[in-house]
Amino acid sequence: MNRRDPAGIEARIGYAFTNRELLERALTRLAYTLEAGLPPEAHMDALATLGDAVINVAVVEAVVMGGAHDKGAITNRKVNLVNMTRLRGLAEDLDLADYVRWGKGEAAQTVWTSGRVLAECLEALIGAVYLDGGMEAAAGVLRRLGLTERA
């Protein structure tokens, strides 16, 4: 699999990174980092954890701003909007797998075709947007992707 130019993902999400290293980190899997001898902080895992939290905050904010006031209703709406299947679908719509630096074994097994892998890649991308441009930038990307437009 030939990796696409990371600038292409910026066009697809409608956000241009100030810190290109954050974008590269968001698109780099741990397996690739280990195989390439990159520093331990060069992979996406921490950004995926951050991105998961940012997505949850953005979605809950959108639900509340949309008029929801009941805790149970807010939680149910968030659960319906933020799940592995939904995030994976958004990542597939972006062709995100084409931009990620995969480990050799991951590439051979096409790990992005099943499970949570692509959802985690999208979370890492959102985490990187958050660190680069703040909550407003991350929420804007999520709106453009359609995650919060109907919250």
User: What dihedral angle (degrees, nearest 10) is formed by the CA atoms of 45, 50, 51, 54?
Assistant: 170
Candidate list 106, 120, 123, 132, residue with the active-site label: 123
DSSP state of 149: T
Q: Which residues contact 14 (CB under 8 A, 6 or more apart)?
A: 140, 141, 144
User: What dihedral angle (degrees, nearest 10) is formed by the CA atoms of 14, 89, 46, 39?
Assistant: -80
Can 70 be counted among the known catalytic residues? no
Q: Which residues contact 99 (CB under 8 A, 6 or more apart)?
A: 3, 4, 6, 8, 9, 27
Candidate list 45, 52, 106, 120, residue with the active-site label: 52
Can 45 be counted among the known catalytic residues? no
What does the alpha-carbon distance between residue 106 and residue 55 come to, in Å, rounded to a whole number? 26
What does the alpha-carbon distance between residue 83 and residue 108 come to, in Å, rounded to a whole number? 26
Residues identified as active-site: 52, 123
